[in-house]
Amino acid sequence: MNEIIAFLRKKDYRITVQRKAILESLVTCGQFFSAQQVFDNVKRTYQDISFDTIYRNLNLFSAFGLLQQIHLPKGDGSVFEITEEPHPHLICLRCGKIQCVDNTLVDLTVINEALWPGFTICRYSLEFYGYCSECRDAQRLSEERKETNVCI
């Protein structure tokens, strides 16, 4: 957290009591967290903080690459992850489980040259949506049960 505070100060952002409380909350939120979770955590200590303040700060931290925003399927919003390097994610459409993907599997040089030669990628967000093995197996089992219960 001290590195983030130093980084923000270097960018001429004030470290307000609210901003510090948000940063402290991030440490306790777990690997993936929503703006609502951060809001609920901070609200316990600072009742007058607004959801908008939380969201603006999370977006600021994301813009600086301190957090990675992960977009959820079906209009469920997004979650954030504290990370030093952006990386892709696998997201299950059924249970919502998120799995990090090693970013060495994504060759940005090849992608960059294929899509827009001369363009410099500064950061990226890449999500793959599908079904985890547990949900895929559960879906298959459910379909098999439907087939065996067909009335003739």
* Sign of the C-alpha dihedral computed for residues 63, 69, 71 and 75 taken in this order: negative
95 is annotated as contributing to ligand binding: yes
Burial class (CB in 10 A: 0-12, 13-18, 19+), 144: exposed
29 is annotated as contributing to ligand binding: no
122 is annotated as contributing to ligand binding: no
Token pair for 152? 């003739």
* DSSP per-residue string spanning 40-84: HHHHTT-TT--HHHHHHHHHHHHHTTSEEEEEPSTT--EEEEE-S
Numbered residues of the known binding site for Zn(2+): 92, 95, 132, 135
Q: Which residues are annotated as a binding site?
A: 92, 95, 132, 135
